[in-house]
Structures are given as C-alpha cells and as structure tokens.
Amino acid sequence: MSRTIVAPPELPDAPISAVERETGLSKDTLRVWERRYGFPVPLRDRHGERLYPADQVLRLRLISRLLGRGLRPRQVVGAPLEELIARAGEGDAGPALQARAAEAPLLDATLRLLRSYDEAGLRAHLSLALQRLGLQRFVTEFAAPMNVQVGEAWSRGEIAISQEHLYTEQMQHQLRQGIGAIYPGTRAPSVMLTTLPGEEHQLGLLMAHACLAIEGTRCVSLGVQTPAWDIAQAARQHGADVVGLSFSESLRQKTALDMLQDLRARLPESIEIWAGGALWSRLRRRPPGVRFVSRLEQISPLLAEYRARESAAAP
C-alpha cells in the first residue's frame, strides 16, 4: 500500500493562534512548554511575535496525539521526531485486540472498506451484518469489538483520523436504524440515558441504548454532554427510575467519579445510577450508590435483577 505520508506542501510559518487551532494545544500551554522544556522554539517576526515552522507544528501535532493516549508531557515534549513516530507506533497489544475468530473476516472487510473511503460499501456491509446477526448480537459481537479494533488501528497509524470518523458516522447510522426499528418500550425501569460533560462519544451511548431497547425497556436518550445539574432536574421531572451514563476512556477516571458523586448527591435515593463503559474495567474501589457496568453483556442480567427486585417489593 503506497500510502506515503505525503510530501510536506511547504506551508509558511504559523502564528501562535494557528498552532492552537491545528494542534488543540492552548496558547498558554505552548508558551509555558517553551519556557519549561525548551520546545517548541518558534522564530519571531519583526514585531517579536512567535512564528512556528511547519516541522515544529508537525511535531506538536504528534505530541498532542500521544498526550491524548495518556503519555505525560515531560516524556514527549522534548523528544525528537523519530522517537515520537516510534512511540506512536507502539500501541498496546491488549487482549481486546483479538476479536473472536468467527468475526475476524467481518472485521477485516470493514477495515478494507474504510481504507478506500467506500461509504456505500461500508453502509451495505454494516447493514448486512445487522440484518444477519440481529441487533443484540450485532451490538455485542460486532460493533463493540470493531470499535476497539478501529481505535487500535488508528493509534497504530494504520488508518487516518478521517477514516475513524467515517467508521463512527456509519456505525452510528446503523445503530440508530436498529434502535428506530424497535417499537417504543414500555417496561420498567424507565431509563434516562446520556453522558456527562466532556464525554463526547456517542457510540457507547447508542450501544447501551440498543441493549436496553431490545429488552422492551422504556428509555429516553438526551444525547451526549448533559451537565449533572440538568440530568438531575430532568430525571426528577420525567420520573425516571434509572439514570444511565456512558463513559469512554477519554475522561479521567477521577474526574468521572467526582461528577458521579456530585450527581448522586443531587438525585433522590429512589433513582438509581448505572454507569457503563470501558472506563470502569480497571476500577479499583466502587463508590456506593452507583452501579458499574463494564461490559454490554451485563446489561441484560442487570435489568432482570431490577425487575425481580421491583416485583418482589411491590406485589
């Protein structure tokens, strides 16, 4: 595959505001790195304002990505280009990586379609998988491992961000089709679904939504990033039994736990909180008042338990 990383188009030196835009690193951060770590070292225009050469911007972009993966600035900010690229390639060969052999061909096909930006093909492929597996198995056996695969492929540099975006978009489309085809549920518990501020990933939320909808649960989704204050208000007004929250690994666990505790304090005891997502797979201590669900398969038993409990309590 001759996907060369493209000859640099000879871009002019960039002022600090442009670098902020391109890398997502704030001006303050850029200036403070310069002071502390001696990198970047921008040129100056005739008025003494910073001008970043294209190669430094490239390095900064790589650094920014590595930080998003959890590396610490001290270890990467000063590092030379080759080391950055090496580290970017490392990737974590976790156990989630090997999907079950049975689905491997499906996964491979997906990656192939992504590489060629073949939207129509991808759409047909996912749709077919959905029809063949049914929503339940599509979510747990296909979508979930595929999400991990695509994420890994990106961090290994095998696919571009734009291709990962394309995948997310299409998968979202497919999940919504699946959810939309289910007649609105009426069974208890009444679940209000959303994510907390800072958590932008929709796929986790949609997968959970699908798992709940399949069981006939009555659920209302608010989409992503609802502030705790508003969740509490909405849950009370709507008379929800459960608030369901989805977490990817993009949030810090500490931050997430703090927000959960905050939300817990704002909700009456009678409303349960179910927190799901990959973030909790390495949870040390689980604070009281919140149910943690690290795998989609656990949703079904959790529902069954809730229903048993309720029918026992109020016969």
Partner DNA sequence: GTCAACTGTATGTCTAGGACAATCGTGGCT
Partner DNA sequence: AGCCACGATTGTCCTAGACATACAGTTGAC
Residues that bind a second copy (CB under 8 A): 3, 5-6, 9, 11, 17-18, 21-22, 24, 61, 117, 119-120, 123, 160-163, 165-166, 168-169, 172-173, 176-177, 179-180, 184, 194, 197, 200, 219-223, 226-231, 233-234, 236-239, 255, 258-259, 262, 265-266
When CB distances are held under 5 to 8 angstroms depending on the partner's kind, the choice from a second copy, DNA, none that residue 238 binds is a second copy
When CB distances are held under 5 to 8 angstroms depending on the partner's kind, the choice from a second copy, DNA, none that residue 311 binds is none
* Pairing of β 272-276 and β 291-293: parallel
Q: Partners of 44 in the beta sheet? A: 50
Q: Which two tokens stand for residue 105?
A: 């061909």
Which is closer to DNA, CB of 84 or CB of 206?
A: 84
The total of other beta-carbon atoms located within 10 Å of residue 221's CB is 19
75 contacts DNA (rule: CB under 7 A):
yes
Q: Which two tokens stand for residue 269?
A: 């005891």
| Conformational region of residue 305, where left means phi above 0, alpha means psi within -120 to 50, and beta covers everything else | alpha
Which is closer to DNA, CB of 45 or CB of 108?
A: 45
194, 217, 218, 214: which is closest to 205 by C-alpha?
194
Which is closer to DNA, CB of 225 or CB of 255?
A: 255
Task: Render 249-281 in DSSP notation, one character per residue.
Answer: TTS-HHHHHHHHHHHHHHS-TTSEEEEESGGGG
Q: Which two tokens stand for residue 153?
A: 């492929």
145, 120, 158, 155: which is closest to 203 by C-alpha?
145
Shortest CB 275 distance to a second copy, Å = 16
83 contacts DNA (rule: CB under 7 A):
no
The one segment of 5-13, 66-74, 225-233, 296-304 that binds DNA by CB under 7 A:
66-74
53 contacts DNA (rule: CB under 7 A):
no
Q: How far apart are CA 60 and CA 66, in angstroms?
A: 10
Window 265-304: contact mask with DNA (x via CB under 7 A): -------------------xx-------------------
Window 235-264: contact mask with DNA (x via CB under 7 A): -----------------x-xx---------
Q: How far apart are CA 63 and CA 179, in angstroms?
A: 39
Q: How far apart are CA 313 and CA 307, in angstroms?
A: 10
33 contacts DNA (rule: CB under 7 A):
yes
42, 44, 26: which is closest to 34 by C-alpha?
42
Amino acid, single-letter form, for residue 109: A
Choose which of 1, 72, 94, 268 interacts with DNA (CB under 7 A): 72
Shortest CB 68 distance to a second copy, Å = 12
Q: Which residues bind DNA (CB under 7 A)?
A: 15-17, 26-29, 31-33, 35-36, 47-50, 67, 72-75, 252, 254-255, 284-285
